[in-house]
Structure formats: C-alpha cells, structure tokens
Amino acid sequence: MTPDQISRCGKAAGSAVARLSPLSGGCLAEVLRADLADGGSVVVKAGRESDRLDIEGRSLRALGEDGGLPVPCLYLIDPDLIVMEHLPNDGGLDATAQRDAAGLIAALHIKPRDGYGYAEDTRIGPLHQPNPPANKWVPFYRDHRLLFMGRVAMERGGLSAAGYAALERLAGRLESLIGEPEHPSLLHGDLWTGNVLASGGRITGFIDPAIYHGDAEMDLAFSTLFGTFGEDFFDAYRDVRPFDYAGFLDTRRDLYNLYPLLVHTALFGGGYANSVARIVQRFTG
C-alpha cells in the first residue's frame, strides 16, 4: 500500500492504521488486514487505478442491497482501493453452513431479473467479463462467455488454435444442449470456497463476486468445480428452488463449468486446457 492509500484507509475506517498484515487471495490486487489504532480491524484491497477495484465494490454492494446476500460493509470504494468490514471466518463449510448458504443463494436466484448481461462490464479474477444486454441466454453464454474467454485463453497461450476450433464446434450445438432458463438471475459469478465466509455454521459473507444476470445454474456448476458445496447444499437449495437436478448433473454442469475452466486456462494454462478439451470432446464426439 502507498502512504496515500494508508491515509485514505484510516479516514474511511475512522481510525489510523496501526499495522498491516497480508491475507490470502487477491489475484487482482493486494489484500491486507489493517489493524486500527482504536483496536478494530478492516480488510483492504489495494492496487492501481487501472485495476478498477470500484467495479468489485459496486458488485459487492449490489449483492447485498439488491441480492439480499450477506456481504462486508463497504467503507470506501475507489478504483485503486476498497476498505471493507473484516468478517469472521473459521475456514470451514460444514453441513450446517452449506444449508445456510443454500437458502441464501436460492433466494438470490429465485428473483427474476430483466434480461441477461448487466449494467456494466465486470471482472472474473483479473480478467475482463463483458456483460452486454441480451434477451436470450444461450447466445449470451455462447458469445460472451465461452467464445470470448476461449479467445482470451488462446491469445494468452493457454488454449491452442485447434482447441479453440473445437470449442467453436461445441458452441454451435449449445441450443440443443442447454436451452433457455426460466428467467435471468443475479449471479455471484465466482462461487468457490475462498469466496464464501462462514463461522459457527452460519454464512458471514460472500466476497470477490463476478456478478451478472444469467442462468442460476452457472453459480451451481461453479460451486461443484472445486468442491465448495455438496449434497447438503443441493438438498436444501432444491427445497427452496426446485430444478432439473438430474439434467444439471448429467449435462449442464459440465457445459457451464467450461467457462471457469477457460478462465483458469487463460490464467494458468496447464491441465485446465486438458479439462476443457475433455468436456468439449464429450459433447462433440
């Protein structure tokens, strides 16, 4: 953090910064715990103005105010700096916490939204996430998620030209594979374990969103990719928002997880490109 950022952090928090210590996460910016002179603490994300951290701040605020999810209180939102509440997190999502998360996420998803996309482009990790308005889900997912991120992954060297061509072939078949959802839902967009905070069997907050309006099953698929949620979550979720769980597990989960796998291919390459190839091969023969 720069001296100016430290000063702004103290003013926003209402007490001078006494000590800074690093926290995990933060592929876009530095994430720190700031212990304050008055004995309190806040979480700080600090970067450059070009990092546009204000997008993340507005996304968090939307999840809380419009989506009804628990999120950290935000004390400052600037392009290079976010100062937010330090929430308790014991690092585990036990069965009770998963059921709590299910009720919150189902309530977020069950409310219909006006069209796909979002009012502004957002980010997933450090990568651009385009959100142009759209009336149909399948063309939006095809063009602005799969093919867009496939091109990013290819340009960054993670995905081969042949891999992208195979992705294009799959994209041409999406209409028959996933269809249109009942309505657009507000999505967290990056629902992996590190972005779900819990303590004492309750969810204390959701962080680091990549929001947009899309098919609710995008969030559900992402939550299975790295083992965030399991059967306790899905049983409780379906009590609130029933859906075609068998079809999701058999088909749509893999198709929707192509997007975060392409994100990881763009960022890290390696085995993620192989995971993409396996799913594409499954649906294209």
Indicate which residues carry an active-site annotation.
190
Spatial contact of 184 and 216, defined as CB atoms under 8 Å apart: no
Q: What is the CB-side half-sphere exposure of residue 53 using CA atoms within 13 A? A: 23
Q: By three-state DSSP, how is residue 86 classified?
A: coil
Pick from 35, 42, 79: which is nearest to 57 by CA?
A: 79
Residue 112 to residue 182: CA distance in whole angstroms: 9
In DSSP notation, 221-252 reads: HHHHHTTS--HHHHHHHHHHS---HHHIIIII
Residues 6+ apart with CB under 8 A from 266: 127, 149, 152, 153, 156, 158, 159
**Cα–Cα distance for residue pair 117/135, rounded to 1 Å:** 9
In a 3-state reduction of DSSP, which class is residue 143?
Answer: helix
Write the single-letter amino acid at 226. F
| DSSP helix/strand/coil, 211 | coil
Q: Are 132 and 271 in contact (CB under 8 A)?
A: no
